[in-house]
Structure 1
């Protein structure tokens, strides 16, 4: 009897610890995201201001994909992230409705898919810019504009069609941001295909393309030095690593855990904690997107530096109070 009671007490303690750990991890992620959210939104509006104001930033071909990634992440941060923050704070979704959850999951999936695939395309296009710049500029409609428009436009109908119309019964989790996952994700064939198309495939393209590009750039270092273009090519490579590196850091754990979740038929006791931590990792790329954009866009960095120096100069040369000589008052 004592052994059984001890076992029951241990089980109760484990359950309580799991609940506390789930709530604790949720609170920690909430605080972490809130700390990053405010400066990220402020920087995003600054980037929008300078991007709209200065045509120099928008006109360069090499900036288009980076700006697209920034705008997608900006929409995520302003339109979707507040819902996630609300779920983190409350421990519950804002609206317990299947329709709401379907639209929310569709939007999350579409935006994340768009951001990842644009990063993968950026890695391929940056190779063309470094080694085949003339070819890219000559056929820019086919090699640049059409793929960019396609990658921005098709994730929304793709995600909504599967979420809304795939014939399966959803088992939604109203205690998770995005209501957990919709049912088609757990269908063996379509779930694995979706995982490869949306997450694993773009990540592999980013990693492989970046590694090959780094190797090839440094192999051609001497040739580039003779042509006085090494500095320019190295800067373009560095910009790519800044943008794509953060995306890989954010999505690699998600890719691994989601792949295990799709393939495995059993759930672990730590799954809630893992899901909250994964949400924190995902939003790293989104909230650091303004900083990465400033680093990756030299023209934007120059404009912000000029504006900052101008504001500092105005403050230093501001109007100071005029000192009145008392003797002059007496003469009057």
Structure 2
């Protein structure tokens, strides 16, 4: 009889294997569309920049982190049983996951600016301050954070186990309660809450504006941005929120949850 843990691992492998291929194909089609309509969709529409960054970060994760995960789920052991491989895999996984989450968080906030303050966002200094700087920060902050604490942990030494996914986890998660709490709450918990709050607030604001008619907003032109944001946010929340909630509960209350 097959071990229940092995059966669960193979089920996860089958699900990931059957979904990642179509996902990559969809990514390629979107890349081709952006390349063919570069001037129209990228140069003239800065609101699409964050979507392009999200797509790029997600694509990089699928071709780097995901193959390592697939190999482990299939065989029950990591691709290379070395210290450096486990450190790099952890860095890729945590960095790219956070980059995607933080880009989506900023996308939610930025949509408010492009929908309700479109004239302001046409000014160069506003576009730099509220568009380009946040994009760069969201893309670079967590990769540098995890380089520091995965490759050069200040208070511990990483011990990797090659028969566990991600070789377990960076040592600071187990030895530095403050840093672990900061990591989960600031990098995962807070972005999830912001995404939920901002989307609810956006919906309420749209209803309010439509009822009061205090502002002339071209709703037909903005409808695409709103639908796009809600769809992407729901996808991320469905797949990421449960894990984040469990992690936060383990940090704040009990590790046995």
**So what's the TM-score if we normalise by structure 2?**
0.90
Q: Deviations over 1:42-93 (max 9, x none)?
A: 2222222221222212121111101110100000011211111000000111
Distance apart, 1:154 and its partner CA: 2.1
1:52 aligns with 2:52: no
Counterpart CA distance in 1 for 2:246 and 2:60 is 25
Distance apart, 1:266 and its partner CA: 5.1
Query: Paired residues, what number?
Result: 251
Contact 1:221 1:230 in 2 (8 A): no
Distance apart, 1:202 and its partner CA: 0.8
Write the mapping of 1:148-163 to structure 2, written as runs, cut at 5 A. Answer: 148-163=135-150
Question: Unaligned 5+ residue runs, structure 2?
Answer: none
Distance apart, 1:129 and its partner CA: 1.1
Counterpart CA distance in 2 for 1:34 and 1:84 is 10
Tell me: CA distance 1:152–1:228, structure 2 relative to 1, closer, same or farther (3 Å): closer
Contact 2:115 2:217 in 1 (8 A): no
Counterpart CA distance in 1 for 2:4 and 2:16 is 18
**Which of 82, 86, 89 is 1:101 aligned to?**
86
Q: Deviations over 1:66-121 (max 9, x none)?
A: 11101000000112111110000001111122221111101111111110000110
2:173 corresponding residue in structure 1: 185
Q: Deviations over 1:160-195 (max 9, x none)?
A: 111111131334332232212111122210100011
Question: Unaligned 5+ residue runs, structure 1?
Answer: 1-15, 269-332
Contact 2:116 2:217 in 1 (8 A): no
Counterpart CA distance in 2 for 1:106 and 1:260 is 23
SS of 1:220's equivalent in the other structure is: helix
1:135 aligns with 2:97: no
Q: 229-238 vs 156-165, which deviates more?
A: 229-238
RMSD: 2.1
Distance apart, 1:232 and its partner CA: 2.8
1:39 aligns with 2:22: yes
Distance apart, 1:27 and its partner CA: 0.8
1:10 corresponding residue in structure 2: none
Q: Deviations over 1:103-160 (max 9, x none)?
A: 1101111111110000110111001111111112211011101111121122211111
Counterpart CA distance in 1 for 2:95 and 2:215 is 45
2:107 corresponding residue in structure 1: 122
1:205 aligns with 2:194: yes
1:112 aligns with 2:100: no
Counterpart CA distance in 1 for 2:253 and 2:184 is 14
1:246 aligns with 2:235: yes
Counterpart CA distance in 2 for 1:250 and 1:225 is 37
Counterpart CA distance in 2 for 1:201 and 1:226 is 31
Counterpart CA distance in 1 for 2:213 and 2:132 is 28
Higher RCO (CA < 8 A, seq sep 6+): 1
**So what's the TM-score if we normalise by structure 1?**
0.71
Q: Deviations over 1:7-53 (max 9, x none)?
A: xxxxxxxxx9xx82211111111111111121111222222222122
Tell me: CA distance 1:137–1:266, structure 2 relative to 1, closer, same or farther (3 Å): same
Distance apart, 1:228 and its partner CA: 6.6
Counterpart CA distance in 1 for 2:256 and 2:81 is 23
